Amino acid sequence: EAQVTQNPRYLITVTGKKLTVTCSQNMNHEYMSWYRQDPGLGLRQIYYSMNVEVTDKGDVPEGYKVSRKEKRNFPLILESPSPNQTSLYFCASSKGTSEETQYFGPGTRLLVL
Amino acid sequence: GESVGLHLPTLSVQEGDNSIINCAYSNSASDYFIWYKQESGKGPQFIIDIRSNMDKRQGQRVTVLLNKTVKHLSLQIAATQPGDSAVYFCAENRAGGYNKLIFGAGTRLAVHP
């Protein structure tokens, strides 16, 4: 089944404790992206990757890092989480051209205490 | 339940009626538009898309209308069913660039029996 998977689905952590949220897609998509979703603000892009070893900032990159060492994986790293990073996070992927639909993972709900 | 739907405009309809969800997009240069459906606890799910060289596109029970003059997008759902209850997002993809989606804030559709 073609899908985007994320782990963990739920995470509670404390301020300053590094964490990684994994994202994997099995559709051989070149483009991958991370979004956060907050009440009243919709989905906002954090980082994106056009292909392996190619990443760039989205609209809200502060406090996040990403890497793209393999085509299928695009982990999101929070080196020192803060409470304002409490949110619902979605990974998405697409074939890569500007008119290709992005497919979303199931989401990771993060609470930073 | 999910908190992402708080503070969203809500459209309430009776089962069997037609629903119309509206969206104003921001950039006249956007050339590709998508409607997503997000059910509680899930990631956004693709419904239908339309390119800027079209003004109407039909799917199964759904129709998207695009009015570029006033930068307006609408999603029509025929014979709305309880399973259609969700938050609906429109997204625009800016022309000429990478696959970056700009999402609207969303509209909650509540279907009553």
Structure confidence by residue, pLDDT tens digits, A35-78? 999 987 889 999 999 899 999 999 899 999 999 999 999 999 99
Instruction: Look at residue A98 in the predicted model and tell me its pLDDT.
Output: 59
A residues 41-100 closer than 8 Å to B (CB): 41-45, 48, 50, 58, 88, 90, 92, 94, 96-100
Closest by Cβ to B104, choosing from A42, A50, A101:
A42
Q: Cβ B43–A41 below 8 Å, yes or no?
A: no
Q: A100-109, B32-41, B88-97: which range is least confident on average?
A: B88-97
Phi, psi at A83, each rounded to 5°: -55, -30
Cα torsion through B61, B73, A93, A63, rounded to 10: -140
Interface touch B4/A99, C-beta < 8 Å: no
Dihedral (C-alpha) B78, B80, B85, B87: value to the nearest 10 degrees?
A: 20
Report how far residue B59's alpha carbon sits from residue B84's, in angstroms, rounded to the nearest whole number.
Answer: 15
Q: What pLDDT is recorded for position B28? A: 84
Say yes or no for a CB contact (<8 Å) between B5 and A39.
yes
Q: State pLDDT tens for residues A73-107.
A: 999 999 999 999 999 999 999 887 656 788 999 99
Question: What percentage of chain B exceeds 90 in pLDDT?
Answer: 68
B41, A10 in Cβ contact below 8 A? no
User: Is the CB of residue A76 less than 8 Å from the CB of residue A60?
Assistant: no
Q: How confident is the model at residue B29 (pLDDT cuts 50, 70, 90)?
A: confident
Locate the chain A residue with the closest alpha carbon to B4: A39
pLDDT band at B58 (very low <50, low <70, confident <90, very high): very high
pLDDT at B31: 85
Between CA A14 and CA A107 the distance in angstroms is: 20
Confidence of residue B3 (pLDDT cuts 50, 70, 90): very low
Q: Which residues of A touch B106 (CB under 8 A)?
A: 42
